[in-house]
């Protein structure tokens, strides 16, 4: 049973956090493109990063910062330019952003995380960026939290936020998150950025372990288009200002904290999948009956990543053969004669053979905004869920003109 409560709020809801976003001139259109999340005090921090070998300069700098003391006090984010594949100049620019934030907010530069998203291979317009950072303190207010969520968007159509509260030892703790992601999204830290803030007091080692585990169950289980970006990053900051007894792996309420974190990350992951470029539907693939968690995850990821499955979902075509085909080439060690497949509650395959079903009912189901595919391997009790979206004509239109 959940011990947390979902509440209204933005990334600045937890005690001691403020956030804002402004237009600095990085983007060609006048939309927020520079944001900051800042804590009153240095917070324990944890990060998860892209597995792409071409790691963007901001990611490199942020990993260095967290690696020094396990703490951050601020995260500066820009959209419209990824500062990726920019060499030494890109690293210098990311560090200049760190220093500019340190100067503007009187904090240590090593306590500043940096994140960027947008076009790869172009240098940041640093005069505009630095001027923008200098303007950020004046824009901070009790109402400016949502501007941060707006400032991190690229091709996203909607802001993605979540907020929960729970009690730890009788002390009320708040956790809030925001994310961006619409294209270049694929399991293994699929371009996506996500930020979680909490006023809980948490041991850094437990925070990092919790983030890694939750990432594998949430952000690493989504896909839009099979592309793992250069800038993907999830950061968590825990400033301890709620005053709870410090959470660690052995704390009796450690699992409650983890479940709240996992919920926030799962909701953000699902919102990213639903907002996939050109998407009209959220697709959920649940694999059950697995001999191991790894097997169930492998099959779920393969099915959710299949372009043929995704296009069939877009066309409301109950083409179960594409699903079974993806299960077969997943590389998982499964029994090919035991598979059941369901579209929602409609069973279309039993023991790996088709069974009669109403095409009309299946089409009506597949026309809904939320579609679920269930695959039962009948080999054990483990299960896994992955999320994605349909693949539409608009995905090609959006990405064919991304830089223009």
Please identify, among 248, 270, 292, the residue that sits at the C-terminal boundary of a domain. 270
Give domain status of residue 276, yes or no: no
User: What integer pLDDT is reported at residue 397 of this predicted model?
Assistant: 80
Tokens, residue 398: 């959006």
Q: Are residues 42 and 136 in the same domain?
A: yes
Identify whether the C-beta of residue 173 lies closer than 8 Å to the C-beta of residue 244.
yes
Q: Are residues 177 and 307 in the same domain?
A: no
Identify whether the C-beta of residue 136 lies closer than 8 Å to the C-beta of residue 36.
yes
Please identify, among 270, 304, 333, the residue that sits at the C-terminal boundary of a domain. 270
* Low pLDDT (below 50) residues in the chain: 189-190
Measure the CA dihedral 382/383/384/385, to 10°: -170
Give domain status of residue 250, yes or no: yes
Q: Are residues 115 and 162 in the same domain?
A: yes
Give me the phi and psi of 389, to 5 degrees please: -150, 170
The single residue listed with the structure tokens 């500043």 is 112
Per-residue pLDDT tens over the stretch 308-317: 999 999 999 9
Q: Are residues 331 and 375 in the same domain?
A: yes
Give me the phi and psi of 74, to 5 degrees please: -150, 155
Give the span between the Cα atoms of 372 and 389, in whole angstroms. Answer: 11
Question: What is the maximal distance between C-alpha atoms in the chain?
Answer: 69
Q: Are residues 102 and 246 in the same domain?
A: yes
Q: Are residues 133 and 56 in the same domain?
A: yes
Q: Are residues 172 and 42 in the same domain?
A: yes
Q: Are residues 230 and 292 in the same domain?
A: no
| Residues facing 343 on adjacent strands | 346, 373
- H/E stretch holding 6: strand 5-6
Give domain status of residue 277, yes or no: no
User: What integer pLDDT is reported at residue 52 of this predicted model?
Assistant: 77
Which listed residue (191, 198, 223, 392) is catalytic? 191
Burial status of residue 61 (CB atoms within 10 A of its CB: 0-12, 13-18, 19 or more): buried
DSSP annotation of 194 reads: E
Domain holding 33, by residue range, is 5-270
User: What integer pLDDT is reported at residue 190 of this predicted model?
Assistant: 45
CATH of the domain at 395: 3.10.20.340
Give domain status of residue 160, yes or no: yes
Identify whether the C-beta of residue 151 lies closer than 8 Å to the C-beta of residue 35.
yes
Q: Are residues 190 and 300 in the same domain?
A: no
Per-residue pLDDT tens over the stretch 274-297: 877 778 999 999 999 999 999 999
Tokens, residue 187: 């399991």
Identify whether the C-beta of residue 310 lies closer than 8 Å to the C-beta of residue 388.
yes
- Per-position DSSP letters for 225-262, written without gaps between them: SSPPPSS-EEEEEE--TT-PPPB-TTSTTHHHHHHHHH
Q: Which residues contact 114 (CB under 8 A, 6 or more apart)?
A: 58, 61, 62, 75, 76, 77, 94, 97, 98
Helix 87-105 to helix 126-139 angle (10° resolution) is: 20
Q: Are residues 251 and 364 in the same domain?
A: no
Please identify, among 249, 270, 291, the residue that sits at the C-terminal boundary of a domain. 270
3 catalytically annotated: no
Give domain status of residue 62, yes or no: yes
| Residues facing 340 on adjacent strands | 376
Give domain status of residue 358, yes or no: yes
Per-residue pLDDT tens over the stretch 199-244: 999 999 999 999 999 999 998 888 765 555 667 899 999 999 999 9
Give domain status of residue 275, yes or no: no
What is the model's pTM? Answer: 0.86
Beta strands in 154-231 (DSSP E): 160-168, 171-181, 192-198
Give the span between the Cα atoms of 268 and 264, in whole angstroms. Answer: 6
CATH of the domain at 107: 3.60.70.12
Q: Are residues 64 and 159 in the same domain?
A: yes
Our count of domains for the chain comes to: 2
Give domain status of residue 261, yes or no: yes
Q: Are residues 176 and 288 in the same domain?
A: no
Q: In this structure, how many other beta carbons lie within 10 angstroms of the beta carbon of residue 128?
A: 16
């Amino acid at each position: 049973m959940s011990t947390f409560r979902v509440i209204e709020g933005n990334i600045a809801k937890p005690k001691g956090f403020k956030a804002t976003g402004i237009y600095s001139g990085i983007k060609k259109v006048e939309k927020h493109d520079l944001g900051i999340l800042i804590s009153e005090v240095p917070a324990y921090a944890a990060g998860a990063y892209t597995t792409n070998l071409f790691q963007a300069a901001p990611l490199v700098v942020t990993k260095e910062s967290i690696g020094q003391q396990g703490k951050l006090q601020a995260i500066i984010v820009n959209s419209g330019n990824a500062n990726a594949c920019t060499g030494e100049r890109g690293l210098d620019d990311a560090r200049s952003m760190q220093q500019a934030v340190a100067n503007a907010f009187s904090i240590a530069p090593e306590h500043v995380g940096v994140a960027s998203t947008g076009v790869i291979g172009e240098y940041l317009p640093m005069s505009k960026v630095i001027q923008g950072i200098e303007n950020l303190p004046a824009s901070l207010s009790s109402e400016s939290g949502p501007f941060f969520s707006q400032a991190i968007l690229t091709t996203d159509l909607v802001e993605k936020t979540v907020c929960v509260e729970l009690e730890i030892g009788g002390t009320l703790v708040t956790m809030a998150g925001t994310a961006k992601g619409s294209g270049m999204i694929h399991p293994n830290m699929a371009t996506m950025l996500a930020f979680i803030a909490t006023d809980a007091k948490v041991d850094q080692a437990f925070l990092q372990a919790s983030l890694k585990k939750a990432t594998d169950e949430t952000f690493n289980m989504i896909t839009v288009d099979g592309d793992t970006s250069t800038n993907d990053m999830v950061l968590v900051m825990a400033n301890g200002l709620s005053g709870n007894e410090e959470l660690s792996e052995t704390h009796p309420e450690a699992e409650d904290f983890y479940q709240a974190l996992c919920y926030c990350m799962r909701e953000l992951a699902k919102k990213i999948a639903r907002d996939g470029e050109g998407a009209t539907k959220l697709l959920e693939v649940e694999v059950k009956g697995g001999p191991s968690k790894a097997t169930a995850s492998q099959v779920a990821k393969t099915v959710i990543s299949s372009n043929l499955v995704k296009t069939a979902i877009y066309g409301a075509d109950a083409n179960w053969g594409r699903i079974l085909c993806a299960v077969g080439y997943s590389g998982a060690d499964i029994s090919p004669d035991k598979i059941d497949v369901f579209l929602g509650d409609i069973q279309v395959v039993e023991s790996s053979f088709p069974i009669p079903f109403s095409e009309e009912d299946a089409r009506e189901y597949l026309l809904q905004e939320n579609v679920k595919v269930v695959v039962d391997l009948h080999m054990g009790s483990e299960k896994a869920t992955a999320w994605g979206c349909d693949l539409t004509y608009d995905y090609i239109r959006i990405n064919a003109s991304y830089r223009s």
